[in-house]
Structure 1
Amino acid sequence: MSKKKGWVEQTDGYLNKTPTFQFILVTILFALWAIAASLNDILITQFKSVFQLSDFATAFVQSAFYGGYFLVAIPAALFIKKNSYKLAIIAGLTFFSLGCFLFFPASRLATYSVFLIAIFVIAIGLSFLETSADTYSSLLGPRRLATVRLNISQTFNAIGGIIGILLGKYLVFTDHNLQEEMARLSDAEAIKFGQQVLQRTLTPYIYVLIVLIVMIILFSVTKFPSGKVRKKSGEIDSAKFGETMNYLLHNKRYWRGVLAQFFYMGVQTGVWSFTMRLALDMFPHFNEKYVANFMLYSYICFFVGRFLASYLLSRFRETIVLTVYAVIGTVMLIGTTFIPNMIAIYLAVGVSLLLGPGWPTIYARTLETVDDKRHTETAGAIIVMAIVGGAVLPVIQGLISDATTMQFSFIATAVEFAWVAWYFISEIKYDIRSTVTNKSHSLED
């Protein structure tokens, strides 16, 4: 063990106590990547009209975003193994900053593909951040409180989502229906007007860029623990990539968790990407600035739902709570799919109450199946790679929308949430076994 700045690093990578300032900095990262993700929902609605895209094509915003996560998660984990969590976070903030900067030439060139490149570069940075921070947050303190710390950090994910939507609503959208405005213009006028509209997308990224520069400076000058597993001699104990993959391939429960995360991301991304599109499609007299309210309400529901879940998880088994959440969410999404009035919109918004505990619970639970902590960085990176569900499944939803209606496409999210419910039902037996084992240990003591 080594003592640094008032904390003691244990051999398993955890600390004897939580360093407050360092934990706050890491937790702010959760808000930052949520701002980027929620701004995607704004961009999808904006690009739909400016570039005259199909719902299938607009989904490529999320494909570029979450595809970046998928491709970079393993390289990010290897970077952490070779260097440190702190350096990986600084690298992530740097890529995030570069992606925000690319919005300047993208808005001037006014082509969809250049915007997708900028979003992809942002995603590279966020993949470094999330691969680092999801695990690092859980390590910044005693092991028994690891899930609590991760849930606290994830609460700021909801706050970031609210900030992102507010930035989009007041800095990007106007009081007019963009699609109707562009339909009244000639081709030449529409192109010129579209370029003016795209300039508005710059503003929120300017503010984000300023915050990112400040964060890079703060992380550079602040001391952080290593978070690495150590031998008794004090040397860092790590496993080679091939050894880790061989270990994980024999852990069926781990891969079930990864698949659950894949489908969960399909639900979250699909609902949030298309809620505004659903409102505009069902009620054409609405404008983009007005329907942004539905996403604001969604993120508020997400925030409230996470606090409610924290209370319920302190009283009941997490498998029971998450099973009930997923089943209710599935029913609500079926209602969104088939109810032909405003109730469908409010059900889509209300589902966010049930999304709050999904990601951190599946992440922490899946990582707990890895008993050999030498494999933590890579195992955590693969769980982050499951974010690719947010790249693949919304595209399928977009195809369904183009073939039928935007409302009917929500059947895809209902099916995905039902699979998440099945995962937690299958996990109940492990909670029961754990309870029995703990009781037997208590009797032996």
Structure 2
Amino acid sequence: MKKNLGNLIKLSANELDDGYLDRTPIFQFMLLSLLIPLWAAAASLNNILITQFKTIFELNNVTSAFVNSAFYLGYFVIAIPASRVIKKTSYKLAIIIGLSLFTIGCLLFFPASHLATYGVFLIALFAIACGLSFLETSANTFSTLMGPKKASTVRLNISQIFYPIGAVVGILLGKYLVFNDGASLEVTMAKMHGAERLVYGQKMLQQTLLPYKYIVIVLLVAIIIFALTQFPSGKPHQSVNIKQQKSVGISETLRYLSHNKEFLKGIGTEFIYMGLQTSVWAYTIILAMSFSRDINERDASTFMVYTYIAFFVGKLLATALMKKFPTAKVLFLFSIVGTLSLLYVTFVPSMTAIYFTILASGLFGPGWPTIYSQTLNTISDKRYTETAGAIVVMSIIGGAVTPVIQGFIADKTGSTSLSFIVDVVSFAIVGIYALDYYRRYQTNNKETMSTENLAHNNN
């Protein structure tokens, strides 16, 4: 394997012909896994920003949901360019570019907090998401390649265990650096008018940049460590066969993927799942505050801490179950209970509903990584893997769409609780996908066993 003098931390594994490794290099795998809490912290801070901006800029539910729209639009726009960078260079370079763009986006919060306009904050969030799109397009696919192929889905689920840790950190940063104690921001600003309200609102906007100061420091350290670490190429060797020696363009890749029905099912399901996850988390704080005006933003954000802890436990449980049962079966069972939990949230408008949103979040555990890995597994020709991974990341745009739909329903009905019907339908769709995938898994297993038995009998 080629060695680079700039890589001070070497790779302790060998690349196989198909791009996977013969064993998992622990240090490199941990580095990739630790990228996940970075983008998790950024995503969870959106839930803080939605609550803060809704009051300061006097927004309704639909317009406050544009925080997520701007954020996930960045994923959608940049994913394909990121995949082309990976294809022409390396996963490592794409990760460094992603970290750099993430840093620039965080720095934009400084002028945004001084200009005090909603649009400038949305631009900063879009810039952050551009960096995260590079990171997710590269890191998620790269994690699946960091070891033997047969354990690719389990490996990605292990990496994703770190997501709720970063999400909790993000919420805690927002809770103590952005939100104030005492009366809620809505109650406080309702008593203010004119210049007094404007000055106080600008002061509260200044607090939104505080979490991003700490994130920038971590990002700069991460850039240095990745630059000094050796990573595998993660690409099939050109000597595998003549077919793989021919490079493929974007048009040929999209043509190939558009005719892969199972891949398209995975993309659609990932779109629905991301919208589901984003919506539930975006409206949890708002739901809690809708039940009592005595609860302030800092108190309500505590429920988000519980939410991400439940998400973490759910991931641990799902990962343990996936060692004994098919991944699609685990996802299906989680989806059934999750759908029932959200039905309770929708039709029981009381404080107890908050605890069922927390339960539902725990059941999100196997969602993203399982659908992601299963969708990539439908790609038999690995020349298309980078672009396929990018398109799966593009499906994150569901996080920009579903919260707006839920916000529209909340505004029209005047009930945050009833708006959760959108999430009920979404979780049910994920369950249908998981059941379909599991049935195909069983069919393929039976066919494989029949073939092996036939060959054994012939011998």
TM-score (norm 1): 0.97
> Aligned residues, how many?
445
Task: Name the residue aligned to 2:18.
Answer: 12
Deviates more, 1:63-72 or 1:339-348: 339-348
Which of 304, 326, 332 aligns to 1:323? It is 332
Moved beyond 3 Å, runs of 4+: 1-6, 233-238
Task: Name the residue aligned to 2:53.
Answer: 47
**8 A contact 2:239–2:245 mirrored in 1:** no
Task: Name the residue aligned to 2:208.
Answer: 201
**8 A contact 2:270–2:368 mirrored in 1:** yes
Task: Name the residue aligned to 1:151.
Answer: 157
Deviation digits for residues 211-250 of structure 1 (CA, Å, limit 9, x no counterpart)? 0000111111211111111222799764221221111111
Report how far residue 6 of structure 1 moved. Answer: 3.5
Task: Name the residue aligned to 2:6.
Answer: none
Report how far residue 361 of structure 1 moved. Answer: 0.4
Task: Name the residue aligned to 2:398.
Answer: 389
- Percent of pairs with identical residues: 53
Q: Distance in 2 between matches of 1:237 and 1:109?
A: 51
Report how far residue 31 of structure 1 moved. Answer: 0.7
Q: Distance in 1 between matches of 2:186 and 2:134?
A: 36
Q: Distance in 2 between matches of 1:291 and 1:420?
A: 28
Which of 430, 433, 443 aligns to 2:443? It is 433
Report how far residue 2 of structure 1 moved. Answer: 6.6
Residue 83 of structure 2 aligns with an amino acid whose one-letter code is: A
Report how far residue 319 of structure 1 moved. Answer: 2.3
Q: Distance in 2 between matches of 1:57 and 1:299?
A: 25
**8 A contact 1:229–1:237 mirrored in 2:** no
Task: Name the residue aligned to 1:419.
Answer: 429
Q: Distance in 2 between matches of 1:225 and 1:388?
A: 30
Q: Secondary structure at the match of 2:320?
A: helix
Deviation digits for residues 134-158 of structure 1 (CA, Å, limit 9, x no counterpart)? 1001111221221122111101111
Q: Distance in 2 between matches of 1:366 and 1:344?
A: 33
Task: Name the residue aligned to 2:261.
Answer: 252
Residue 156 of structure 2 aligns with an amino acid whose one-letter code is: L
**8 A contact 1:228–1:236 mirrored in 2:** no
Q: Distance in 1 between matches of 2:274 and 2:27?
A: 30
Unaligned runs of 5+ in 1: none
**8 A contact 2:17–2:240 mirrored in 1:** no
Which of 115, 122, 127 aligns to 2:128? It is 122
Q: Distance in 1 between matches of 2:377 and 2:166?
A: 27
Report how far residue 429 of structure 1 moved. Answer: 2.0
Report how far residue 7 of structure 1 moved. Answer: 2.2
**8 A contact 1:85–1:132 mirrored in 2:** yes
**8 A contact 2:11–2:28 mirrored in 1:** no
Task: Name the residue aligned to 2:222.
Answer: 215
Residue 222 of structure 1 aligns with an amino acid whose one-letter code is: T
Q: Does 1:288 align with 2:294?
A: no
Q: Distance in 2 between matches of 1:178 and 1:120?
A: 26
Unaligned runs of 5+ in 2: 4-9
Deviation digits for residues 342-391 of structure 1 (CA, Å, limit 9, x no counterpart)? 11111112111100100000000111011111110011111111100000
Deviation digits for residues 286-334 of structure 1 (CA, Å, limit 9, x no counterpart)? 0000000110000000000011111222222222221121121111111
Report how far residue 210 of structure 1 moved. Answer: 0.1
Alignment of 1:365-404 (within 5 A): 365-404=374-413
Alignment of 1:46-445 (within 5 A): 46-176=52-182, 177-232=184-239, 238-404=247-413, 405-443=415-453, 444=455
